[in-house]
A and B are shown apart, each in its own frame.
Chain A
Amino acid sequence: MNRRPLLTLLAGATLLSAAAAQDARFASPVMLYADDKVAGKGRLYPSPVSYDLVRDGRPDVVIGDLRGHLTVAAQRPDGTFAAEQKVKDVDGKILDFGNW
């Protein structure tokens, strides 16, 4: 492998550790619940995204994971979230990105 002298440039690029302290604008984090369970609990590297998957005008929480599966916690009218359900494809099979 050809390694040109990029390393000489990297000293100025390791930014996260050298950056300013955490932005103080956020409150201390709280766990996000889907029904009576913490959303994504126990999943392999849960990755949430806000999106109106059920198409009712309210943003839901969709969570992907390392296995390549997605769940959706539908937002209820009162703003809470229903229990997570696996996201399925157009044929009713579990949508599966985990093909490795």
Chain B
Amino acid sequence: MSPQFVDFDGDGDDDIVCGIFDGSPHVSYWDNEREGYLQPVGILDKDGERIVLNAWWNFAESKWDRTDRCNPDGGVPEDGHLTSAIAFDYDRDGDYDLVLGDHTGGYVYLRRNEGTNRAPKFATRNEFVMVQGAPMHVPGTVATIRAVDWDRDGVLDLMLSSMGDPYGQDTGGGVAVCLNQSRSGESTFGPMNVLVAPSAKGAVGAPQRPDVGLHPDPVDFDGDGDLDLIVGGYSMWTPAAPALDDAGVARADALAAKLEELQAAYSALSAQAAKARDGLEGEAAMKAFSEAYDKLRPQLSALTSEMAPVRAELDKLRPRAQRVSFTWLYENLAK
């Protein structure tokens, strides 16, 4: 979730708007009298329905679900899953519309507000945000969206960031901005200008940058008159491996073999617990699995404890690839 501080209800104080993984935008309103935030609520359309793309978490049935209810006229090129949303007066009519980011397909959608900030009436269907006649699309899929006047022309632009391949070695995430080319009325966006190139990954020794799941915020962090970026995301790197002599290689081989043996034993026990579900369904299957797992828990815990020091020693000799989240500062050098 990327928090956006914005006076969403037009009462003079900033609320918190964001899209979350349940597939819908939410808002935490600021309580003016008590001076604090209220627990978040979903932002609903004018019919009282949830605002979604296609994937949504069905609270009533505690499962993931899908719908075409909100699709733009003519459908969508692929199913979408909203995980980011910002308040943005897209048509410059004085109220906040919503711009929605698609974590699955990479498209960017608009949900128009046909009411006001004080009495919003969000449309029941999504529209595509367009770029030069085509739906705006973020390769690597949308991580988040920010509203920013990047070129300082008095008009809000859209900053977009991408997820990238979250675990593998394919291209990672980046940051770009689409400049708003109209000064009034409907927003029209130009092509994406890359600010942070999608990561090629492959860092060795230490993390070098956010590589995947980039979540930027543009801000004049150092107060020098230009916009810097603070960016959250996962860094992926491989620590430098020490040079091993013959004894070191032999020790690493022995540790790797021991670890493999322990992992195989762990997998076998896990499979044994899973086998308890055979022939059963629903709650009965869950109960059987749970009981079997509980019986095996001491052995599983013992194996976990045995693996930990082996893994730790092996990591020093043959470091594994790392993936850790951090927050970074990109200082703008324009000024």
> CB within 8 Å of B: which residues of A?
1-4, 6-7, 9-10, 12-17, 19-23, 25-32, 38-51, 59, 61-66, 68, 70, 87-91, 93, 95-100
Query: B111 → chain A, closest Cβ, in Å?
Result: 18
With A44-B325, A47-B144 known, 6 other A-B pairs at CB within 8 A are A16-B194, A17-B171, A25-B334, A89-B38, A95-B16, A98-B21
Given A4-B75, A43-B325, A96-B40, is A61 in contact with B198 using a C-beta cutoff of 8 Å? Answer: no
Q: Does B331 contact A (CB under 8 A)?
A: yes
Residues 245-271 of B, flagged 1 when their CB comes within 8 A of A and 0 if not, give 000000000000000000000000000
Q: Do A29 and B209 have beta carbons less than 8 Å apart?
A: yes
Contacts between the two chains (Cβ within 8 Å), count? 229
Q: Which residue from chain B places its CB closest to the CB of A13 in the assembled complex?
A: B134
Q: Do A66 and B330 have beta carbons less than 8 Å apart?
A: no
Q: Do B325 and A1 have beta carbons less than 8 Å apart?
A: no
In the complex, chain B residues whose CB is within 8 Å of the CB of A17: 139, 171, 198
Q: Do B140 and A16 have beta carbons less than 8 Å apart?
A: yes
Chain A interface main SS type: loop
- Chosen A-B contacts, 25 in total, with CB atoms closer than 8 Å, are A2-B68, A6-B135, A9-B133, A13-B136, A16-B139, A19-B194, A23-B195, A26-B196, A29-B328, A29-B330, A42-B324, A45-B234, A47-B1, A47-B215, A47-B232, A48-B215, A48-B217, A48-B230, A50-B221, A64-B2, A68-B21, A89-B28, A89-B39, A97-B40, A98-B1
A54 to B263 alpha-carbon distance, docked (Å): 48
> CB within 8 Å of A: which residues of B?
1-5, 14, 16, 18, 20-23, 26, 28, 31, 34-40, 57, 59, 68, 71, 74-77, 79, 131-140, 143-144, 160, 162, 171, 174, 176, 191-198, 207-210, 213, 215, 217, 219, 221, 226, 228-234, 324-334
Q: Do A90 and B35 have beta carbons less than 8 Å apart?
A: yes
A96 to B234 alpha-carbon distance, docked (Å): 22
Q: Which residue from chain A places its CB closest to the CB of B64 in the assembled complex?
A: A100
Given A9-B135, A49-B3, is A61 in contact with B21 using a C-beta cutoff of 8 Å? Answer: no
In the complex, chain A residues whose CB is within 8 Å of the CB of B2: 47, 49, 64
Given A6-B76, A10-B135, A97-B1, is A40 in contact with B325 using a C-beta cutoff of 8 Å? Answer: yes
Q: Do B219 and A46 have beta carbons less than 8 Å apart?
A: no
A7 to B26 alpha-carbon distance, docked (Å): 30
A9 to B74 alpha-carbon distance, docked (Å): 13
Q: Which residue from chain A places its CB closest to the CB of B209 in the assembled complex?
A: A29
Given A13-B134, A97-B40, is A49 in contact with B325 using a C-beta cutoff of 8 Å? Answer: no
In the complex, chain B residues whose CB is within 8 Å of the CB of A7: 77
In the complex, chain B residues whose CB is within 8 Å of the CB of A50: 217, 219, 221, 230
Q: Do B325 and A42 have beta carbons less than 8 Å apart?
A: yes
Query: B135 → chain A, closest Cβ, in Å?
Result: 6
Q: Do B326 and A40 have beta carbons less than 8 Å apart?
A: yes
A87 to B327 alpha-carbon distance, docked (Å): 18
Most buried by B among A30, A45, A47: A47
A1 to B79 alpha-carbon distance, docked (Å): 9
